[in-house]
Amino acid sequence: MSIENDFALIKDFDQNYCLQVFSLLPVAFVKGKGCYLYDTEGKKYLDMIGGIAVNCLGYGNPKLASAISQQAKNIIHACNYYYIPQKSELAYRLCRASFADKVFFCNSGAEANEAAIKLARSYFYYKDVNRYEIITADMSFHGRTMGTIAATGQAKFSRPFEPSVPGFVHVPYNDIEALIDAVNPHTAAIMLELVQGESGVHPADKEYIQAVKKLCVEKGILLIFDEVQTGVGRTGKMFCYQNFGVTPDIMTLAKGLGGGVPIGAMLCTDQVATGFRVGDHGSTFGGNPLACAASIAVMEEFEEKGIIDNVQEVSSELFEKLNKLRTKYNCIRSVRGMGLLIGIEFDDTITAQGMREQLLAMGFLVSAIGKSVIRLAPPLILTKDQAGKFVKALDKILKNVSGPKNVFDKIKDALPTKNQVKHSASRITSAKIDRLDELDLPDSKPDADEEDD
């Protein structure tokens, strides 16, 4: 049985058989090429969110596909009783490209952060020093495991699962005084994102990060950068910390690392690596040949195709064009971010959800964060031309946001009321989208629907 092209059945099976923890848009993708995705109806979309900063090489990259298929025909999984050539090579490549001396491989960002948290604690345990507390930032996001929701500085992620794992303190982001005040003799580590991606794309100030590093050195505190979202070229350097002129003791990666194949990594210095001894940590799948072969192919493509240069060039043009839109339309409050991780914040005349739906109707994929921010995290192979198409589409939509009853008011009218939505007020239902289709939306002919680039 294949249900691949039957959207009604796909949706029905999902709703009946998958745990309903996601708010899904009414679309399923069955084909991808470069920066484009195609749904069950054959409609084409320019992917400006890249599987949430994962699909760094886009879709159907020949080198990545060939590395995965070659490896799949040979050994997919060995195990951690034996040396794994692909794991050894990837660790070498990551250390060569970064501050790190040692790598631990796992399967996701949350797992990489769990490893970092455990290492920070065990590092002091083996030194016989009573330091265990980890300071993180308000509005941070570090994952969905029990440890990482405790690390995350947003109570909504941990409240239903209390009591929380103890030993985490949260302070305002970009506020060095608050951080200094929070440090105490039990502080083991400070853990930060360099751009807070999940809470609205908020970059750290360079002076703040440099002051944090100084504080860590002075007080003997470990510095952990969560680069799950910002790592692997996303911000125009291989790793985001390279934009800040400081190095951490520990860094975590996932998302783009495998170009779509699940893999996470925790990197650290030799000194900090002494905190893990044989048996202290592990993972059945971590460092498996398939994921490591994929990641090696990603790193090779970065070198051969000049991916980081592309991020820098496309990013600066995209920022320039988006900032022009900002001066043209008062409803754009800010355009912020680094490289190809960009947040566009609107005032209360525009809902992020409405904008995401408008863009979807026009053939562009973005994510909505909270009420007012849309996030862009496209494949890092995005071209200037494709970026220009996105800006044009946004311009078209914003042009129509004028007059007493603009399209966003119409979208709000079309949305079910709170009571009509059973599980969550923000849940997107297909009914909602069906009703949107009936609206007179600004030219919803897919702009992305042109020849493949």
Q: How far is the CB of 289 from ligand PLP (least distance, A)?
A: 20
Among 27, 46, 110, 253, binds ligand PLP (CB under 6 A): 110
**Site residues (CB under 6 A) for ligand PLP, limited to 277-306:** none
Nearer to ligand PLP, 55 or 113 (CB): 113
**By the rule CB under 6 A, 109 interacts with ligand PLP:** yes
Which segment (139-147, 168-176, 211-219, 404-412) binds ligand PLP by CB under 6 A?
139-147
Residue partners of 388: CB distance under 8 A and separation at least 6: 317, 321
Phi, psi of 373 (to 5 degrees): -120, 135
Query: How many residues bind to ligand PLP according to rule CB under 6 A?
Result: 14
Place of tokens 């484009």: 36
Nearer to ligand PLP, 234 or 356 (CB): 234
d(CA 432, CA 428): 7
Among 105, 141, 329, 390, binds ligand PLP (CB under 6 A): 141
Q: Which of 105, 226, 276, 364 is catalytic?
A: 226
Place of tokens 């890249």: 50
Which segment (96-104, 141-149, 167-175, 420-428) binds ligand PLP by CB under 6 A?
141-149
Residue partners of 47: CB distance under 8 A and separation at least 6: 32, 35, 36, 37, 55, 58, 59, 365, 378, 379
d(CA 154, CA 199): 9
Residue with nearest beta carbon to ligand PLP: 109
Q: Which of 104, 124, 141, 225 is catalytic?
A: 141
d(CA 47, CA 199): 21
Q: How far is the CB of 231 from ligand PLP (least distance, A)?
A: 9
Residue partners of 19: CB distance under 8 A and separation at least 6: none
Q: How far is the CB of 53 from ligand PLP (least distance, A)?
A: 7
Nearer to ligand PLP, 61 or 108 (CB): 108
Which segment (107-115, 275-283, 347-355, 405-413) binds ligand PLP by CB under 6 A?
107-115
Q: Which of 213, 255, 321, 432 is catalytic?
A: 255
Q: Determine whether 309 is an active site residue.
A: no
Asked if 240 and 227 count as a contact pair (C-beta separation under 8 A), the reply is yes
Among 98, 113, 199, 358, binds ligand PLP (CB under 6 A): 113
Within 13 A of 328's CA, how many CA atoms are on the CB side?
A: 17
Q: How far is the CB of 267 from ligand PLP (least distance, A)?
A: 14
DSSP string covering 199-259, please?
A: TT-EEPPHHHHHHHHHHHHHHT-EEEEE-TTTTTTTTSSSSGGGGTT---SEEEE-GGGGT
Closest by Cα among 275, 243, 319, 254 to 105: 254
**Site residues (CB under 6 A) for ligand PLP, limited to 178-237:** 193, 197-198, 226, 228-229
Among 55, 71, 108, 243, binds ligand PLP (CB under 6 A): 108
Q: Determine whether 141 is an active site residue.
A: yes
Nearer to ligand PLP, 197 or 236 (CB): 197
Which segment (86-94, 108-116, 130-138, 424-432) binds ligand PLP by CB under 6 A?
108-116
Among 254, 311, 352, 401, binds ligand PLP (CB under 6 A): 254
DSSP string covering 279-336, please?
A: TSS--SSTT-HHHHHHHHHHHHHHHHHTHHHHHHHHHHHHHHHHHHHHHH-TTEEEEE
Torsion angle, alpha carbons of 352, 382, 11, 436, to 10: 40
Q: How far is the CB of 416 from ligand PLP (least distance, A)?
A: 28
Closest by Cα among 193, 107, 201 to 142: 193
Residue 139: DSSP 8-state: T
**By the rule CB under 6 A, 345 interacts with ligand PLP:** no
Which segment (30-38, 140-148, 159-167, 432-440) binds ligand PLP by CB under 6 A?
140-148
Residue partners of 387: CB distance under 8 A and separation at least 6: 314, 317, 318, 321, 378
Can you read off the two tokens belonging to residue 23? 């708010």
Nearer to ligand PLP, 40 or 140 (CB): 140
Residues that bind ligand PLP (CB under 6 A): 108-110, 113, 141-143, 193, 197-198, 226, 228-229, 254
- Give the residue numbers marked as catalytic: 141, 226, 255
